[in-house]
Amino acid sequence: MSSTPTPHIGAQIGDIADKVIMAGDPLRAKFMAEKYLDSPIQFNNVRGMLGFTGFYKGKRVSVMGHGMGIPSIGIYTYELFNFYGVKKIIRTGSAGAYHPDLNLGDIVIGIGACTDSNYAAQYNLPGVFSPTADFAMARAAVEKAESMSVEYKVGNILSSDVFYGDDGERWKQWQKMGVLAVEMEAAALYMNAARSGNQALCICTISDSLVHGTACSAEQRQTSFTNMMEIAFDII
């Protein structure tokens, strides 16, 4: 495949900026476009995966949904990096806390993404690949979070293929290795960025805690994680 539109993105070359902020929920992407972008224009509605391009403080930026799980974000970010000339992607997501000091609404900057997925097998590497964020983007996110005086942690996150796990205590095995939180997409994003020679970062807001048994509502997940969004827009 070498042409656009793709089977999953209905945009033409030039419709998408070279900097993209993504969210699992396409309605969160719509919320971000309406809240933060000047003159947003919708470029995608294929499969309901909304995408918009506009301007943030003079910078041309796109926002788009990526769906749930590694297979979904793997497709969308591959196409953005390889077919649409995108150079930077920030995933803004929700995550479940493994660390006892993380509370609802806190920010996690995923410098590395552990995974139980088999996504890396396609590369036929002679060992285990460690998916990592772009350091410059991670550093910029830390600096912005500190300027906003928001609670944050930087470290490893887990990109899991399983939401409803058969072993309800398995998360503790990741916790003992210092993994901060669990989400479902960052590892594939980081691998696609590495393979295509581009930059990526995952910033998550804690939406629930496996340690404390607390959780946000679906509406809060969609519209209230604005600290994470402001960090992403300012550093992209």
Question: Catalytic residue numbers?
Answer: 208
21 sits in which H/E element: strand 19-23
Radius of gyration of the chain (CA): 17
Contact 177, 149 (CB under 8 A): no
Contact 23, 29 (CB under 8 A): yes
Select from 76, 69, 32, 75 the least CA-distant residue to 52: 32
Select from 101, 116, 227 the least CA-distant residue to 170: 116
Rounded Cα gap, residues 106 and 216, in angstroms: 12
